[in-house]
Amino acid sequence: MPDSLDKELDASVCPTVPPTGAAVQPHGCLIAFDNNWQGVCLASSNLPRFFGLSPPRRLAVRPNRCWAPIP
């Protein structure tokens, strides 16, 4: 996936269209938690750019430990 900060913003994108793999805004990243707030179930590939965190290492981590170093 190309770096989203290298893309031009497209103001014509309809807000009712479901998000796709390349739909994370270039000025942010995405972290999604499961329904019970027990773990991270999705993290965008650009997470390291903003937080220095690897998305695969954040999956299934409890929200209160999400930003803590993983040994």
Phi, psi of 42 (to 5 degrees): -155, 140
Q: Has residue 33 got a pLDDT over 60? A: yes
Distance of CA 52 to the CA centre of its chain: 12
**pLDDT confidence bin for 1, thresholds 50/70/90:** very low
Torsion of CA 21, 9, 50, 40, to 10 degrees: -30
Q: State pTM to two decimals.
A: 0.49
Q: How many CA atoms lie within 13 A of 17 on its CB side?
A: 9
